[in-house]
Amino acid sequence: MKIFVTGGAGYLGSVLVPDLLAEGHQVTVLDNFMYRQNSLAHACHHPGFEIVRGDVRLESTIKPLLSKADVVIPLAAFVGAPLCSKDPLGATSTNHDAVLMMLKNVSKDQMILMPTTNSAYGSGDANNFCTEESPLHPISKYALDKVEIEKALMQHANAVSLRLATVFGMSPRMRLDLLVNDFVYRAVTDRFVVLFESSFKRNYIHIRDVSRVFLFGIKNFGKMKGQIYNAGLSEANLSKKELCQRIQKYVPNFVFLDAPVGKDPDQRNYIVSNAKLESAGFKTTHSLDFGIQELIKGFTMIRNTVYGNV
């Protein structure tokens, strides 16, 4: 198929795009390279790969690219509450306005698989349990925009919404601000972390399983279209403290402390059910323990500063 991926040089896209190419698809990526990354350099040899440097918010840029696609995967976004708070205008124009404009320009026959977020569950119900039918309680600008976009997306005849759990794992365009990645980095480099709201639970998923979810969605689109799916690792509904204890298995001298030093902008404290996606036939293959060990290897190479002599 001809697949159009916006933001394809980002954290998710840099893993997904090579996987799509390996499946025999033709892939066109639109990205503005705001992080000055070259994370798709390893895909440039592929004859089915096309890259366009441009802005997803410009209709004149995106419209001709959309017209050639069988499948659209809109990854371009200001991801996470902190970034959206830092640049609310950029967040609104990219996460909200650009997606509405894209939806206006797709045909009813084009397939859309879009990542949304389970951040919008807030703290879930009285038992902190969430399914796709649970009420949404978005708090941050990031979650509010994602909820509005998901409503618009579900008006499209050929769309699937994937409410992703917190993603972890190594990527050519690495992110250190995601919780598992952040905590493992601190364990490897600092040997300690200070926790706030340490009992708050959330769900996680490995980045390569996220890529597999998109591939699964393309292959099983007929039975999945028009629906919303939680996408996470069912055995990884863990609190921050439990996550640190798991990391400690592999970094024994890692120390974590509780202190009232912060507050989650989305008050995420929930146990997420992924039963709907699993009943459709999808199974995760990358465990949290696998991801922690992978990240330890990655962070042996990465140091997040240019201002030190050691």
Residue 255 lies in a domain: no
Amino acid at 215: L
Residue 289 lies in a domain: no
Q: What does the pLDDT read at residue 266?
A: 78
CATH code assigned at 124? 3.40.50.720
CA distances (Å), origin 48, targets 24, 175, 187, 249: 8, 27, 40, 42
What's the token pair of residue 227? 């629906």
8 A C-beta contact, residue 68 and residue 28? yes
Residue 171 has pLDDT above 70, yes or no: yes
- Between helix 240-248 and helix 179-189 the angle, nearest 10°, is 40
Residues 38 and 80: their CA atoms lie apart, in Å, by 22
Q: What does the pLDDT read at residue 261?
A: 84
What is the mean predicted confidence (pLDDT) over 222-236? 96
pLDDT band of residue 25 (cuts 50, 70, 90) is very high
8 A C-beta contact, residue 286 and residue 170? no
Residue 296 has pLDDT above 80, yes or no: yes
199, with CB counted inside 10 A (0-12, 13-18, 19+), is: exposed
Q: What are the pLDDT digits (tens) for 77-125?
A: 999 888 888 999 999 999 999 999 999 999 999 999 999 988 888 776 6
Per the structure, how many domains does the chain have? 1
**Residue 230 belongs to domain spanning:** 2-168+204-234
Residue 62 lies in a domain: yes
Supply φ then ψ for residue 133, to 5 degrees.
-90, -5
Residue 113 lies in a domain: yes
Residue 42 lies in a domain: yes
pLDDT band of residue 138 (cuts 50, 70, 90) is confident
Supply φ then ψ for residue 147, to 5 degrees.
-65, -45
Residue 17 lies in a domain: yes
Task: State the first-to-last Cα distance of the chain, in angstroms, to the nearest integer.
Answer: 48
Q: pTM, whole model, 2 decimals?
A: 0.94
What is the mean predicted confidence (pLDDT) over 147-175? 95
Return the percent helix, strand and coil in the chain, to nearest 5: 40, 20, 40
Residue 114 lies in a domain: yes
Residue 257 lies in a domain: no
SS3 label, residue 176:
coil
